[in-house]
A and B are shown apart, each in its own frame.
Chain A
Amino acid sequence: MTHYTEASIIEGIARRQNEVLEYVYNTYYPMVRHLVIYNNGTDEDATEVFQEAIIVVFEKIISNELDLNCSLKTFLYSISRNLWLQHLERINRQVSFEDIEKHLVLDESEMYDDFQFHRKRIYQKHFIALTEKCRRILELYFMNKSFDEIARVMGFSSRRYAIKRKYECAKSLFSRIYNDPEFKKIKS
């Protein structure tokens, strides 16, 4: 496996380079998995937490807010830990948190208790779960394409049908989101 420097990892994440993301997954995921599993989590929880941590890093890089005063490993661990803590708080579970690496200097400022972040994650998760066609229709809509153009690109018979399909896809997305147990908790 190729070894990457932290700078090249950060650049790779920003560019969504597959090989860098794979490297990051192989290198740092076991640490996060250990953290989650040893603190009442499952494999699936660990995967979700880790992916969210990468998204946080990505968004910080994109918005030029990434100011690393520790190693990337520590930073990822810190974010993951905070995300997992918040998750546990959301489900009202009292746990004594055991850190697997006591030597890590955790930056408490990396707390993502901002509900907007979690809502965004839920919205995007359900959007990804939509059918390919629905996603394409909504994407075209957000690209400010007219319904006539959407009908033409998607091969629909009329503008009216394109509107109907967009409505159905949006309804399906909203229905998924509003029925998500986590969303219900955040919302309330």
Chain B
Amino acid sequence: MKIIYFDLIESFLNDQMSDAEVRKFKKSLVSDPELAIEYGRHMEIYKAIQDTEAIKLREQLVRIGREYRNDQDTKKSIVKDRKMIYWIAALILVLISLTVIVYRITNTIQVQDYVLETGDEDIYTMTGECRELMTVVARQENFTLIQPPDSAIYLKGQTVPFLWRSELGRPISLDILNRQGKLVVSFSKFQDCQYEYLAMGDKGVYMFRFRDGEEVIKVGIFYIK
């Protein structure tokens, strides 16, 4: 755009020329092709921007286009957020699965240790009874019954001596049951490591058991005749 032409054309269009200048300008339009082209372009631009309907439509379309893009961005963002949630959920699932796997492996190793300590590899099954048996074995390791010997025979009126060593670190209980299974003696929370039972009951087989709370540590029998 030549400023000199632009200024000249604008002066002409804005009625800022004298009659003589207007005449000269009109003459130049014929004699100066470059000015004629610039004038033609000037008028073309002015004509184009007078098409207010098309301009309004353009503005509307620009706005709608912007809204459309914003909508798409929002949708993309929602999809992105959703994907993120799925990833987090998947990660949590993986973590839970790993935790379970690690727990189970660790647990198996512990059980295997018990089995190996007992020296009985045949119990290497994971049933509930086996596990219970292994825990009993584990508890028994911390408890040694010195007296009475297994299946010992005592006379009525005699005392049955109980002597034991416990490394459980807590008081234990002793129950004595007659052959009907009826509890004849029950002592709980033994601090000492000995007890003497006066055999005044009926003759027959008696069973005794040492307990750590509800868990049985040791069982045995003796006879009174």
Contact = CB atoms under 8 A, between A and B. Distances in A.
26 contacts: A16-B56, A16-B60, A21-B57, A26-B68, A43-B69, A51-B61, A51-B62, A51-B65, A55-B54, A55-B58, A55-B61, A120-B51, A123-B48, A124-B51, A124-B55, A124-B58, A125-B58, A142-B46, A147-B14, A163-B16, A166-B14, A173-B45, A174-B1, A174-B6, A174-B45, A175-B1
Interface of B: 1, 6, 10, 14, 16, 42, 44-46, 48-62, 64-65, 67-69
Contacts of B1: 174-175, 178
Closest 8 pairs between A and B when the two form their complex, measured CB to CB: A123-B48, A178-B1, A127-B49, A51-B61, A120-B48, A142-B50, A47-B65, A123-B45
B64 A139 contact: no
A59 B53 CA distance: 10
Contacts of A147: 14
Interface string A160-186: 000100110011011101100000000
Contacts of A62: 53
A61 B44 CA distance: 22
A18 interface: yes
Nearest to A167: B10
Interface string A38-60: 00000100010011001100110
B55 A25 contact: no
Nearest to B66: A47
A139 B51 contact: no
Contacts of B51: 120, 124
A138 interface: yes
Contact of A124 (B42, B49, B68): B49
Contacts of B58: 51, 55, 124-125, 128
Residue among A127, A139, A147 with most chain B CB within 10 A: A127
A29 interface: yes
A40 B139 CA distance: 78
Contact of A16 (B10, B48, B57, B65): B57
B6 A124 contact: no
A119 interface: yes
Contacts of A124: 48-49, 51, 54-55, 58
Contacts of B61: 21, 25, 51, 54-55
